[in-house]
Structure 1
Amino acid sequence: MSYQPIVPFSGFAGWSFLNRTMEKQQAAFSASSEIQRNEDYFREKIGSIKTAEELVGDRRLLSVALGAFGLDDDIDNKFFIRKVLDEGSLDGDALANKLSDKRYFALTQAFGFGDYTTPRTVLSNFPDEILGQYETRQFEIAVGNSDNDMRLALALQRDLPALAAKTNTETTKWYSIIGSSTMSTVFQTALGLPRSVGSLDVDAQVKMYAAKADQLFGSSDPAQFSDGEKLEKLTRDFLLRSQLSTSGSISSGEAALTLLQNASSGSLSLLL
């Protein structure tokens, strides 16, 4: 049985508690029997796996492999996953390069079945590489079982700084944010954008995201979120807006007090 992370409060209060206890909670989760059994099996077997067919044929190995990239729900899509893995990442026409969800590209690139004569599964550090990602992703899922906003906030800390640090253009970074189900949800909420924005042409979406980011954070460039303070403000705005939109989760008086306290301290970029 896995350790269930404790998130006693919703909103920013819950996020603050989770951050204070993160190290201990992650350690307890990683040490739980279910996680350890899966990791022991992966370490024992993965070095002998030389093809995508062999990987998808072992459901337990596949569950860890997919879980490391947040693709747990694809466990029964064996034909599709095998095709992604077999075609690799180096060929521009490979399936992973055509999919907007770049988790598949990361998956096939990590395993290397379609890219190299000898896959990366035989490398001595490969189990540690995959299992580190697996623990992180599974912890996020476990947190999400208590509070999905916390899961989204954790995913944001993992994905956004890496994206922000890339040398891609501002527009390309917005494409990546909009194409990510987790980051787009966080940004839509934090920036106060309507859910209907997702139905617009992607270039129109980019303009809306960029304009709102410039208004609230002082820049339209996602690169600004490589700054820890900007990332913290974005996370706080997301959690507060989400909490305010959830009926009964916070009273109007509590909401007003929270907003006034944060605004007066200069720590809140939220504009209602």
Structure 2
Amino acid sequence: MRKHILVPTDFSENAWSAALYALKLYANTPCTFYFSHAFTFLNTGTRTQVPQSQIDPLVEKEKEQLIEVMNRAKKESTNSDHEFDTIFSFGSLMDSIKLANKKYKIDLVVMGTKGATGAKKILLGSNAVAVINKVRRAPLLLVPSKCKYKAPKKILFPSAFTRFFGEEIQSIKELAELHNSSIDVLHINAKETLSDIQNANLDMLKNYLEGLELNFNWRTDYKTKAYAITDFIKENNSNILTMINYEHSFIENLVKEPVIKRLGFNSKIPFMIIPRKK
């Protein structure tokens, strides 16, 4: 089945790194890649004072840049079943993503995000935070700056087993099947036993992922889930982190922090955030 992948770009190297990762991740899959860019004024208060004669050249320049990015991606692709298109819009990044989702039924949004230096620190850009908070239709893949592609043979999936698993688990299953990956299921809890509800959800997860290589891991000696995940990634050479974005979840708490703060979370590997299906 053909995948429809949206790659928003601001023409930075960070955005290009994300595009390259997407091309290689789906190198053997029929895909249509949509490169999108939203034209907007940084200072919207001055918008009405700028004559159209000055705006038009800026718009044309950015349209040309968008086409250049698409053509650059075409050259990098090694699959004749890859197709490419551009989406140029006016307004915010979120507006452009919503437009693409509505028109093209996007399966995955791929964006770059700049990581901070330090063993357990990250700075999520304001755009990444906004998309995490607002995009609820398609999974979001955040690719760290200068991240070099490595096939995701080891997928990390933290879970508390407190929620009923639904369609959203299909995204993890498809990714594992695509690259013949193992899945490390990580449970972080101070308690040494699971409740009846947690055990029932765990059994459900096993049934959904039957036939795949599953490894179950338990971490109890961490003050924060962020540190537990960070250390697990380092110790086990995880290639990609996947999480389901439930309401009132760990992800929601993470992105509520001011973006200028260091968030005790490591983003050296891509992070796939899967929206909860209602």
Q: TM-score, normalised by structure 1?
A: 0.29
Higher strand share: 2
Q: Looking at both structures, which has the greater relative contact order when contacts are Cα pairs under 8 Å and sequence separation is at least 6?
A: 2
Higher helix share: 1
